[in-house]
Amino acid sequence: MVESDHDLFFPRSVLDEARRVAEWNCGKSAPDTFNILILGESGTGKERLARFIHDESVKHDKGGGKFQVIHCAGLPSSLLQAELFGHVKGAFTGAVKDRKGLMAEAEGGTLFLDEIGDIRLEDQAVLLRVIQKRVYTPVGSNVPKTLDARIITATNRDLPRDVKEGRFREDLFYRIQQFTLRLPPLRETPDILERMVDKLSRNFGYTLTEGAKRIALTYGWPGNKRELEHALRLFRLYQQDGRVGENILRMYCERHNTLPQDSSPRGTVPAGFVLPDWLRKREREWVELAMEQAGGIQRKAASLLGVSPQNLSNRLRSLGLR
């Protein structure tokens, strides 16, 4: 393979900027590093880009340091702070021994805060103080510790709008976006889309017919690279003599473009239409595979399938899946 996975997934301009800030952030003390904010729709590869920056920094630094990830969305304040700062024995019920947090685990490396736009305002205030002073205190302790890690954050939200509407602190926004990288959606990068379609389909052991590829290149892929990777992996089930035809792509795209987003028990099927048995069997395979890859988390599985969580919940109920 001549091109790297990173060259396959990201525009050259984004990689050049990522390398530039990675080289600057290597081997420097915390006050001299840039906090990096990665913006992009869900599925555009924000965590993949953050790992690339970490790897490039480590390569230039000739040192070590781990890449630690925390997904901020939906975590209650107590759990978020315990995960980030760690805790001491007896800090709360179930804390039977001291536990290092991700900030300590990331020492000399990179701390990646994903979905930072979804954390609560009270947690934003705590995080702001930590980033400003580079000091944190484990839950239940009164002994402060120094934060010595690169900080990369990411969100699919419109943070300037959230700041304006009071959902995100302005001071924290300017603190985390000292260097900003924007990942375009897949529909705006047709060259990357075509490279991914060709490369990944070959990796999965088949090729697309001319008609199938034409549909793949014109479909909007609302779930971006994550949805595309999942779909191309899924199409292996339908190959015949190493080729996947237009009918499979058309069925996939029509299903994901026309699914009604209501709460009716059979919300994924047009009114009055009954799926034939063979298609219901394939639908079960798609849903089961998505749930397996998402670790049983319905929200993640819905994102893989390109449908709403409510829609997936309806289909799970209709198919008799838990």
> Do 35 and 164 lie in a common domain?
yes
> Do 136 and 204 lie in a common domain?
no
Chain position carrying tokens 């499979």 = 248
Cα gap 95→103, rounded to integer Å: 18
> Do 120 and 136 lie in a common domain?
yes
pLDDT in tens, 78-96: 788 888 998 888 777 777 6
Output the six-digit token pair for 66: 């781990």
> Do 178 and 74 lie in a common domain?
yes
pLDDT of residue 79: 82
291 three-class SS: helix
> Do 145 and 198 lie in a common domain?
no
Residue 297: CB atoms within 10 A of its CB come to 12
> Do 221 and 98 lie in a common domain?
no
Print pLDDT tens along the chain (322 aa): 334 578 788 999 999 999 999 988 877 666 678 999 999 999 999 999 999 999 998 877 766 688 999 998 877 877 888 889 988 887 777 776 888 889 999 988 999 999 999 999 999 999 999 999 999 998 888 889 999 899 999 999 999 999 999 999 999 999 999 999 999 999 999 999 999 999 999 999 999 999 999 999 999 899 999 999 999 999 998 898 999 999 899 888 877 754 333 323 333 333 333 444 545 556 777 788 778 777 888 888 877 776 677 777 877 887 777 6
> Do 161 and 221 lie in a common domain?
no
> Do 203 and 162 lie in a common domain?
no
Cα gap 130→240, rounded to integer Å: 56
* CATH code, domain carrying 257: 1.10.8.60
Residue 154: CB atoms within 10 A of its CB come to 27
* CATH code, domain carrying 135: 3.40.50.300
Residue 264: CB atoms within 10 A of its CB come to 11
Among candidate residues 182, 207, 226, the one where a domain is terminated: 182
Among candidate residues 182, 200, 224, the one where a domain is terminated: 182
Among candidate residues 155, 182, 209, the one where a domain is terminated: 182
> Do 115 and 205 lie in a common domain?
no
The total number of structural domains in the chain stands at 2
pLDDT in tens, 22-43: 988 877 666 678 999 999 999 9
Q: Virtual CA dihedral for 279, 281, 283, 288, nearest 10 degrees? A: -170
Which domain covers residue 156, as residue numbers?
5-182
Nearest to 319 by CA among 283, 291, 295: 283
> Do 157 and 235 lie in a common domain?
no
> Do 132 and 190 lie in a common domain?
no
> Do 105 and 137 lie in a common domain?
yes
Give the global pTM. Answer: 0.76
**Packing angle of the helix pair 46-61, 12-25 (nearest 10 deg):** 40
